[in-house]
Structure 1
Amino acid sequence: MSVDNDRCRRYGICVAEAPTLFRMSTDGGLRYLRSVPATEIEQAKAAVRSCPMLAIALNERR
């Protein structure tokens, strides 16, 4: 998974959709897991769909 920091406006919707994958840091930045556990794929997809800035990409490995 990746986040385009130039597009991200830190609305926090991804944090609400997938709190185990995303979190807001104390400095206002977004922290996230680059490697999504298999058990969290659906939450990651929800975060991708809900991002109003289209800043999140989920690169699924096959």
Structure 2
Amino acid sequence: MRTRYRVSVDNDRCRRFGICADEAAQLFRLTPSGGLRYQSAVPAEALAAVQAAVRSCPTLAISLEERR
């Protein structure tokens, strides 16, 4: 059985510092207007980068959920 991961961002907590985009650019990006875009499905090859983004978020706005 393959484990899948999904990431989500609490937009009320997020202050768009961009640390997540630095840690996992393949999933997170800041828009020119100051918004945050992200891909919720986490590819296996991006898991370590996403985990680093979760740990690095100063507002604890990012969560990673394991789904089986």
TM-score by length of 1: 0.95
Equivalent residues, number: 62
Higher strand share: 2
TM-score by length of 2: 0.87
Structure 1 equivalent of residue 67 of structure 2: 61
CA separation in 1, counterparts of 2:43 and 2:53?
14
Letter in 2 for 1:10: R
The percent of aligned pairs where both chains have the same amino acid is: 63
Q: Show structure 1 runs of 4+ deviating over 6 A.
A: none
Give the gaps of 5 or more residues in structure 1. Answer: none
CA separation in 2, counterparts of 1:18 and 1:49?
12
Give the gaps of 5 or more residues in structure 2. Answer: 1-6
